[in-house]
Amino acid sequence: MNLKQIAKDTAKTLQSYLTYQALRTVLAQLGETNPPLALWLHNFSADKIQDGESYIEQLFRAKPDLALRIITVREHIAEEVADFLPEMVRTGIQQANMEQRRQHLERITQIDTSNLSLQPEQQASSDPNNEQ
């Protein structure tokens, strides 16, 4: 397990996600102030936002002012969430793991009552060979 590579991959994924969140913020703002530009940005962004850096590069070529706006918003979001994000991730994973384990334990310990035959007491009383 290469922890350094995992950290790099996680950072890249988080960076792309923050780019997506910045795009959503800018789209909402433009939706109120400049709907035609919001529509253009929405159409431009479709199927391009998976890789945040590649998306920003393409947007710089098409509309540098929007690219600058998105990276500014992305940086602001990153600064706001960076301090408490590691603890939230750790806590979230611990809670999710505990819930997954609980659900798994419930599944493996459930008795399937549809496949059970009559209870032993019922079998004894309904057995014609049973002399009481």
Q: Which pLDDT score is estimated for 111?
A: 72
pTM exceeding 0.75: no
The predicted-structure confidence for 101-121, as pLDDT tens digits, reads as follows 999 999 999 876 655 555 555
Please give the chain's pLDDT, 132 residues, in tens: 899 999 999 999 999 999 999 999 999 999 999 999 999 999 999 989 999 999 999 999 999 999 999 999 999 999 999 889 889 999 999 999 999 999 999 999 987 665 555 555 555 555 555 554
Whose structure tokens read 């994924």?
13
Residues near 41 by beta carbon (within 8 Å), at least 6 away in sequence: 23, 26, 27, 30, 63, 66
